[in-house]
Structure 1
Amino acid sequence: MQVLERKLPAATPTFRNPALGSQLTQRIARDFTPRWDQQWGGKFALHGKQPSSNAIRLDGNDYLSVTGHPQIVQAQVDALRKEQEFVVQSGVFQLNQHPTRTLELALANWVGKEDGFICQSGFSANVGLLQAIADAQTPVYLDTLAHASLWEGVHAARAPAHAFRHNDPAHLARVAAKNGPGIVVVDSVYSTTGALCPLEEMVEVAEQYGCMILVDESHSLGTHGPQGAGLCAELGLTERVHFITASLAKTFAGRAGFFTAPAHMHYYILSASFPNIFSSSLLPHEIAGLAATLEVIRRSDDARIRLRANTKRLRGSLSELGYPIHQGSEQIIALEAGLESDTMVLRDRLEERNVFSAMFCAPATGSKRAMMRMTLSAGLMDLELDHVEAVAREIAPIVKPWDWPIARRARATRGQA
C-alpha cells in the first residue's frame, strides 16, 4: 500500500529583534507614527495601484525614451560577454586608460568642460563635489528648491548654508552681500516643479559678489542645449560656470552621477571627495551602456523636439482645465494638491483611470505642499496625451484644482499686483 506524503506549508519564520533605544523609539512615535496613522491611513503614501501593461506612465525620468535602444543594449551585452579582468574597487584606483576615464572626459567635453568624474549616483556626485569645494569658512548660497543632495553636500562640508528665495536673483544678491564670497548653488530645471532657472541673472550675481557657481543640470542634460549639452551650453554660460553636476538616472536612464571640475583639480578631488574615495566603481556594462547612451542622446534632436511639443501641449491643456501649474515651464509638471491626504486622493483618481505619476511629499517637498509629479517623455503618443487630458477633465470636478492652496495663493498674488 502506497502512502502518499502530504507536503505541509512551510512555517513562517519568527524573528526576534532586540529592543530599540528609547531615543529612536520616541523619535518614531513623535515624527512618523501620527503621519502613518492619521495622514496616510495606515499605508505607505507613495504606493498606489500596480500599473497594468497598458498604463500611461508619467512617473519616470527617461525624457528622450532611450530605454531599450538597440545600440545601448548591444553595448551592455557586449561588455557582459567580453572576457576581461575586472576588479571591483574604488574608482580612485582606476588608471587613465580605463573606460570609465574615457567616459568621464567624453562627458566633460560634451558639456564644454576640461574634466569630469563619474560617481555612483547624482546624490553622491553632489555630496562629493560640495564636500571637496566648501568648508566651514565657505558660505554656500542655495535656492530653496535645490536638490536635497546639494543641501546634504553642504552639510557634509560643514559649511554654512544660506537659503535664498526660489529663482530670485535679487534676494540672492542681498544674502551674498551680507555674508561674502562663497558658492552659489542652483538647479537648471527644478525637479519638483519643472521651473527653469534664470541662470544668466544668477551667474551675474555670483560674479558681482565674487562667488563660484555650481549648476545641477540633472533635468536639463540631454533635453536642453546643442546636442543636449544642457542649459549652460544653450545660454552660452559654460565658461562662466565653475561646476556642472548631473544625475545620469534622468535622460541617460542609467545609474550614475557626474560632475565637472578644472583639470588641475583632478587629483585633489580624488583625495578629498569621500563618495569618490569610498564608493566602488561602476561595473563595465554600466560604463559601456552610458557611453553608448551619450552617443544616442547627442543624435536625438528629433526626440528633443517631440519632448518640447508634448510639454507645450499638456501644460497648455492642463492650464485651460484650471490646474495651477504656473510655477513651472519644462517637462516636469507638478499637480500640487497641498496636504498629503488630498494628494493621495488625487493619485487614486488618476490611477483608477490608468494614469500613473509619482507622489512627492516631505521631505521631498514642504510638509503641506505634497504633489503628484508628472514627467513627460518624447515617447508619449498623441492618443496617450488625449487620454491624460480626458482624465484630467473628468476628475477636475472631484479634486477641484482651483481650490488647491497654490491656486488660492496665485489668485491672491494677482489681486495684489
Structure 2
Amino acid sequence: MKWMEQELETLAAESLERSLREGVPLQGSPGCIRQGEQAKLNLSSNDYLGLAGHPAIAETIRRELLREGTGSGASRLVTGNASAYTRLEEELASWQQSESALVFANGYMANTGVIRALAGRSDVVFSDQLNHASIVDGIVLSRAEHARYRHNDMSHLRSLLYKYRDRPRKLIVTDAVFSMDGDCAPLRELAELKQEYGAMLMVDEAHSGGIYGTQGEGLCHKLGIKDCVDIHMGTFSKSFGVYGAYICGSRTLIRWLVNHARPLIYSTALPPALVAGISTALHLVQAEHERRERLWDSVKLFRSLLDSAGFSIGSGDSPIVPLLVGDNAKALRFSNALATQGIAAVAIRPPTVPAGTARIRFSLSASHTVKELAEAAGVIRRTGLETGVLRA
C-alpha cells in the first residue's frame, strides 16, 4: 500500500489532492450552506431551480416512505419495479413528447449503461473532448472505437464521420451544456451531421433539463430539434432537486435498454418514495415558470458583474460560470479565501478540466437573490485582487 502514500504526496505537492468536507443546507436561507460553524452563500450547487428543499417534494417522500418503506428490495427486473416507476415514466414520456422513458438510479449509470448497450467492438462513438466523465467511461466500457472531436468543432467531427463512414453503428454523443465550461453544444449542426452520416445521436441534458424550454424540457426542445435526437438523457439531481436519471426515446430503444443496460439490470431499484418525490418535482419544474425567469435574470446579472470586473469567465450563457485561473495552487488559494469571506465556491482542477485551466466554477440558483449575488460579486472582485487572480 506504500505506493498510495507516494502518489497522494505527489498529488498534494501539485495542489491536486481532493478531500471531503461536510456541508448542510442552511435552514431558512435558500441558496446558503453551513460548513463547520460558518454559513456561506452556496455558489457551487447544481440546484438550479432551488427545488432541493421544496416542501411539496419532501412531503411526498415522507408520505410514501410511511406507505412503501425505505427500500425497493431488488432490481427493477426482479421485484423492485414499483407502480411509482410506471407513473413517472409515463409522465416523462409525455413531458418530452417521446414514445417511452426509462428511469435509472443516477446519471453516471445511465450514460455508462446506455452507451455500452448501443455500441460494441466493431462500432465507433464520436464524443466531444469536453464531455462528462460518465460518457467517456461508457465508451471505454463499450469497447467501441472512441473518436474524440475537438470541443464544438463540427468540421473536425465531419472529418471523423467521413473517416468511419463504413462502420456498422455510429453514435454521436454530447453534453447539451458542458458542466465545467457552461457553454452549449451546437445541437442543430449535430442533428444535421447525424442525419447526413446515418448515425445515432445521444444528448445529455443533465445541466440543461429543467431550465431550457417552455416547461423545462431542455435545450433540444428549445432549439426545435428534439425529433432528431435518438437518445435523450437527463438527471433529477440538478434542476429537479432530487436524485436519479432518465432516458427518453422510442419504444424500441427502451425495450432494448431494459434487456441490455447492465446498470439497470444489475442494480437495486431506487426506493419507491424517492421515485414518487421525483414525480412531484417534475410537476413543479413544468408549472413554476417564475423559477426559470428568476434564474435567467440572476445569470445575466452575475455574468455581467464578473465580466465588468475583468475576470475571464468563458463564452457561455448558462447558470454555470467558470472563472478561469489557470494555476492549481492559485485556484485553491482563491477558493479558500472566498470561503473565509462566506462564499462556497470550489476550485476545479485536473483531471476534471485540462491541465493549465484550473478554475472556480460558480453555479447559480433561482434561490439566490439579486442582493446576494451583487454582494458576492464584490467579494469575488476584492478577493481576486488580493490573491493575484485579478490584476488592478
SS of residue in 1 equivalent to 2:215: helix
Q: How big is each residue's C-alpha offset from its partner over 1:128-151, in whole Å with a ceiling of 9 and x where there is no partner?
A: 111111111111000011111011
1:212 aligns with 2:200: yes
Residue identity opposite 2:193 in structure 1:
V
Q: Distance in 2 between matches of 1:330 and 1:357?
A: 17
How far 1:267 sits from its partner (Å)? 3.2
Larger Rg: 1
Maintained 8 Å contact 1:79/1:284: yes
**Matched residue, 2:15:** 40
1:376–1:51 CA distance, 2 compared to 1 (3 A): farther
Maintained 8 Å contact 1:188/1:196: yes
Q: TM-score, normalization: structure 1?
A: 0.85
**Matched residue, 2:159:** 174
Q: Distance in 2 between matches of 1:156 and 1:219?
A: 24
Residue identity opposite 1:35 in structure 2:
L
Could you tell which deviates more after superposition, 52-61 or 368-377? 52-61
1:317 aligns with 2:344: no
1:137-156 equivalence runs, <5 A: 137-156=122-141
Q: Distance in 1 between matches of 2:68 and 2:77?
A: 23
SS of residue in 1 equivalent to 2:362: strand
**Matched residue, 1:364:** 352
Q: Distance in 1 between matches of 2:68 and 2:353?
A: 46
How far 1:122 sits from its partner (Å)? 0.3
* Residue of structure 2 aligned with 1:62, choices 39, 44, 47: 47
Q: Distance in 2 between matches of 1:388 and 1:135?
A: 48
1:170-319 equivalence runs, <5 A: 170-180=155-165, 182-319=170-307
How far 1:94 sits from its partner (Å)? 5.2
Aligned residues: 377
1:350-389 equivalence runs, <5 A: 350-389=338-377
Q: Distance in 2 between matches of 1:51 and 1:355?
A: 13
Residue identity opposite 1:146 in structure 2:
N
Which runs of no fewer than 5 residues in structure 1 stay unpaired?
Answer: 1-19, 404-417
1:120 aligns with 2:105: yes
1:204–1:51 CA distance, 2 compared to 1 (3 A): farther
SS of residue in 1 equivalent to 2:345: strand
SS of residue in 2 equivalent to 1:55: strand
**Matched residue, 1:410:** none
Q: Distance in 2 between matches of 1:326 and 1:93?
A: 47
* Residue of structure 2 aligned with 1:328, choices 316, 326, 329: 316
1:289–1:53 CA distance, 2 compared to 1 (3 A): farther
1:54–1:382 CA distance, 2 compared to 1 (3 A): farther
Residue identity opposite 2:201 in structure 1:
I
1:262–1:374 CA distance, 2 compared to 1 (3 A): same
Maintained 8 Å contact 2:188/2:223: yes
Maintained 8 Å contact 2:44/2:344: yes
Maintained 8 Å contact 2:215/2:286: yes
Could you tell which deviates more after superposition, 228-237 or 259-268? 259-268
Q: Distance in 1 between matches of 2:376 and 2:147?
A: 40
Q: Distance in 2 between matches of 1:344 and 1:312?
A: 26
Could you tell which deviates more after superposition, 297-306 or 357-366? 357-366
1:61–1:83 CA distance, 2 compared to 1 (3 A): closer
1:54–1:130 CA distance, 2 compared to 1 (3 A): same
Q: Distance in 2 between matches of 1:208 and 1:311?
A: 36
Q: Distance in 2 between matches of 1:127 and 1:291?
A: 24
Q: Distance in 1 between matches of 2:326 and 2:176?
A: 24
**Matched residue, 1:106:** 91
1:84–1:354 CA distance, 2 compared to 1 (3 A): closer
Residue identity opposite 1:268 in structure 2:
W
Q: TM-score, normalization: structure 2?
A: 0.90
Residue identity opposite 1:177 in structure 2:
Y
Counting aligned pairs with the same residue, the percent is 27
Residue identity opposite 1:210 in structure 2:
G
Q: Distance in 2 between matches of 1:169 and 1:127?
A: 24
**Matched residue, 2:32:** none
Which runs of no fewer than 5 residues in structure 2 stay unpaired?
Answer: 24-34
1:190–1:363 CA distance, 2 compared to 1 (3 A): same
- Which segments of structure 1 move beyond 4 Å, counting only runs of 4 or more? 45-49, 83-87, 94-97
1:52–1:225 CA distance, 2 compared to 1 (3 A): farther
Maintained 8 Å contact 1:46/1:358: no
Maintained 8 Å contact 2:345/2:360: yes
Maintained 8 Å contact 2:311/2:390: yes
